[in-house]
Amino acid sequence: MKKVLYFFPQNLMKSNAGNLTRAWTLLNYFRYKKFSVDYVYSADFWSTGTLSHDEIDKLLKNSSVKHVFKLEKKPKSWLSPHYWAKYKFHRLYRDIFKHKELPNFVNPYNKKRVKEILKDNKYDYIVISYAYWADFAKNKELFNGAKLFIDTHDFLTAQEQDVGDIGKMFKEEMRRLDLFDEIWTLSVEERYLFSQFCKSRIRYVPMTLAGNYTSISAKNFDLIYVAGDNHHNIRAASWFFAEVFPKLSDSVSICVIGKIVDFVPDLKGIQKYRFVQDLNGYYVRSRLSVCPMLSGTGVKVKVLEALSNGIPVVCSPRGADGLINKTDNGCLIADNAEQFVQHISSVLNDVDLYRELNHQAIRYFQRNHETGVLYSILDDAFDSSEI
């Protein structure tokens, strides 16, 4: 049985965000292949809370995970004064001298804990999520010959470009990625970019979801808009509900789901749901999805979720980031507010256009983002096609 150490910083049981969808997709693959998996998460940056005993029991029961390890935020001063002092010095040094550089969330204390895990366990493969934590891989001798993968999730320099020197951040990100045997990207754009500067193998490992193709009849909402509350989404929502939605027909209804509802005005035709248990249940009741992103990087999970349900998408150019082909994919691209209004109105009023986009969405998704596509790619990465 192959043994995998999987580092994903967040609590897998606390959210249904797109990055957790990715994590669960990998865990489902490991379970399908009967791999033995140890899961490591962080209680420091991006923390979504410590796993409770009930959550750990559920995770151990319903996935391939055998052990759960937590990286504490910081050591207890009375239990480990040496590492507490090192931790405090590291944080102070970073806050004073490194705050304008690409964030590095590896510190002496969590590195010590990772060393302990590696000392007590031998793994065939180690998967680390996000280059923020890439420096765990600096001392390869600690990994006892395990093959190292980094699941990048995103292009961090683009995300952090307002922090400091873009050139220095980019160079640092490429250095971190080259610590690994393989670099996984979610988008074809990032695969191309990283391949120009990194020596390690670059593998496109697409975001995949289960297809749930629906009929184009019996819809309760004209539009569906799903988003969290990061600054990219807040900016997009502010623009959409100021420049696009008021110019649509008064009869158009929209279902808004996610924390973004806190930033959506109370206008006629808008129904808000801050959290829903079954997102697919709302997609099947909606005719058209919108993704008005004006900034941000990487594949947009909300676009793939819509396509996985056979729902056409009207989006900005940023909304199509990460899609392996930019046409015949169920999306209409709008460069400005007027085009957004025109595309939405056309799709809602032209049955033939709607049917064609519906068919495009299904074909594109089946060819590029079905679970079987991902499993074939991962089989090659893990040398597991014969298992």
Q: Report the CATH architecture of 221-368.
A: 3-Layer(aba) Sandwich (3.40)
Strand order across the beta sheet in which 147-151 lies? 65-71, 36-42, 3-7, 125-129, 147-151, 182-185, 201-204
φ, ψ at 100 (rounded to 5°): -100, 15
The 10s digit of each residue's pLDDT in 6-31 is 999 999 887 667 788 899 999 999 99
Largest CA distance in the chain: 70
* Positions in the chain whose pLDDT score sits under 70: 15-16, 74-80, 82-99, 214-217, 384-387
pTM score over 0.75: yes
**Alpha-carbon distance 104 to 288, whole Å?**
40
Q: Which of 198, 154, 144, 153 is nearest to 174 (CA)?
A: 198
Would you state the pLDDT for residue 164?
A: 78
Quick check: 231 and 212 in contact, CB under 8 A?
Answer: no
Spell out the residues 6+ positions from residue 183 whose beta carbon is closer than 8 angstroms to its own.
149, 150, 152, 177, 194, 198, 200, 201, 202, 203
Dihedral over Cα of 90, 91, 96, 97: its sign: positive
For residue 147, the cross-strand partners are 125
Identical fold at 3-208+371-381 and 221-368?
Answer: yes
Q: Domain 3-208+371-381 belongs to what topology?
A: Rossmann fold (3.40.50)
Would you state the pLDDT for residue 76?
A: 62
The 10s digit of each residue's pLDDT in 224-261 is 999 988 889 999 999 999 999 999 999 999 999 999 99
**Alpha-carbon distance 99 to 163, whole Å?**
8
Which residue is it, tokens 């991962």?
378
Both tokens assigned to 5: 């150490």
Domain borders along the chain are 3-208+371-381, 221-368
Dihedral over Cα of 226, 229, 233, 234: its sign: positive
Would you state the pLDDT for residue 281?
A: 87
Would you state the pLDDT for residue 35?
A: 95
Q: Where are the beta strands (DSSP E) in 8-61?
A: 36-42
